[in-house]
């Protein structure tokens, strides 16, 4: 086991669809790239072979870790996509139950499972399920806002720190913050951004320009504000005052 110290959160950017996206995000200092599979009708949806191509392209940069982002609710289909693409991190971005997490954990024991918790009208929809998700094998929770019409994912709507700070206090595993994160939003999270359990931030809308494509200036502004340190360098740091995270095998991060 390695004790890991993060000076800044990891930066994840979601929805790459081309090798040029991967190059832009890697050059911009991003740590994790979200690749969609099983997001029906989504503009960044990838068939399995493209998922595998882009995952390989991300790994080949030496700094970008691919994350499968999915609405799928079938553990075997998710595990098959992970096996096919070689992706070890998965973001369950919908209302998949703890039983699915448990089944996926059995199929992929070394995977890093991120489970999204949705916040609507200031309340976490899955609040009562948090202990069950932890027992089922979730590694990290991802906090995101539900859109005004029930939209899930890429709402561009900011979470209020006061809505989630108590929620985070009851968790036994790390969390990633999402929902309208941009280069100016860090001061809105004075407590969460220094919380020992905060593993990273996840961004879609604010990484893009007016044309909907990733924009290198927007990505550079996110990196400057939120961090995005190379994981390999982070692993070598030992700063007593930084937030500690324990890293087990490659890709498995636990508190």
Which parts of 3-62 interact with ligand LGQLAAA5 (CB under 6 A)? Answer: 14-15, 34, 39, 42
Which region, judged by CB under 6 A, interacts with ligand LGQLAAA5, from 72-80, 167-175, 199-207, 245-253? Answer: 199-207
* Cα distances (angstroms) measured from residue 235 to each of 4, 134, 138, 197: 6, 25, 22, 16
Number of Cβ atoms within 10 Å of the Cβ of 225:
19
The single residue among 98, 174, 180, 227 that binds ligand LGQLAAA5, judged by CB under 6 A, is 180
Which region, judged by CB under 6 A, interacts with ligand LGQLAAA5, from 57-65, 175-183, 224-232, 239-247? Answer: 175-183
Q: Binding string, 154-173, against ligand LGQLAAA5, x = CB under 6 A? A: xxx-----------------
Which region, judged by CB under 6 A, interacts with ligand LGQLAAA5, from 98-106, 153-161, 191-199, 222-230? Answer: 153-161
Which parts of 204-233 interact with ligand LGQLAAA5 (CB under 6 A)? Answer: 204-206
E strand intervals along the chain = 2-6, 10-14, 32-36, 65-70, 89-92, 112-120, 123-124, 140-145, 175-177, 198-203, 243-247, 253-254
- Beta bridge partners, 144, equal 118
Q: Shortest Cβ distance from residue 109 to ligand LGQLAAA5 (Å)?
A: 24
Largest CA distance in the chain: 46
The single residue among 24, 159, 178, 245 that binds ligand LGQLAAA5, judged by CB under 6 A, is 178
Strand ranges across the sheet with 253-254 = 2-6, 243-247, 253-254
Q: Shortest Cβ distance from residue 203 to ligand LGQLAAA5 (Å)?
A: 5
Q: Number of helices (H) and strands (E) in the chain: give both, helices first.
A: 8, 12
How many residues are present in the chain?
255
Which region, judged by CB under 6 A, interacts with ligand LGQLAAA5, from 21-29, 100-108, 188-196, 201-209? Answer: 201-209
Non-local CB neighbours of 39 within 8 Å, separated by 6+ positions: 45, 69, 70, 71, 93, 153
Pairing state of beta strands 10-14 and 198-203? parallel
DSSP, collapsed to helix, strand or coil, labels residue 110 as coil
Total binding residues toward ligand LGQLAAA5, as defined by CB under 6 A: 22
Name the site residues for ligand LGQLAAA5 (rule: CB under 6 A): 14-15, 34, 39, 42, 69, 93, 142, 144, 153-156, 178-181, 202-206
């Amino acid at each position: 086991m390695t004790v890991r110290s993060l000076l800044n959160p990891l930066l994840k950017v979601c929805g790459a669809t081309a090798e040029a996206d991967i190059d832009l995000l890697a050059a911009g200092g991003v740590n994790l790239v979200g690749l969609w599979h099983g997001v029906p009708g989504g503009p960044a949806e990838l068939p399995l072979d493209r998922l595998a191509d882009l995952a390989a392209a991300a790994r080949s940069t030496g700094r970008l870790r691919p994350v499968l982002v999915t609405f799928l609710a079938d553990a075997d289909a998710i595990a098959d996509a992970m096996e096919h693409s070689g992706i070890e991190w998965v973001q369950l971005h919908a209302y998949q139950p703890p039983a699915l997490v448990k089944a996926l954990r059995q199929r992929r024991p070394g995977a890093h499972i991120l489970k999204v918790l949705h916040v609507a009208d200031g309340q976490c929809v899955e609040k009562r399920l948090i202990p069950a998700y932890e027992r089922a094998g979730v590694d990290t929770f991802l906090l995101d806002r539900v859109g005004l019409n029930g939209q899930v994912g890429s709402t561009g709507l900011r979470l209020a720190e006061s809505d989630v700070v108590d929620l985070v206090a009851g968790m036994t595993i790390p969390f990633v913050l999402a929902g309208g994160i941009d280069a100016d939003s860090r001061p809105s999270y004075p407590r969460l951004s220094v919380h020992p359990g905060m593993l990273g931030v996840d961004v879609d809308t604010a990484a893009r320009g007016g044309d909907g494509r990733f924009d290198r200036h927007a990505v550079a502004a996110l990196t400057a504000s939120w961090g995005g340190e190379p994981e390999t360098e982070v692993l070598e740091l030992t700063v007593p005052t930084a937030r500690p995270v324990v890293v087990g095998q490659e890709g498995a991060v636990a508190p």
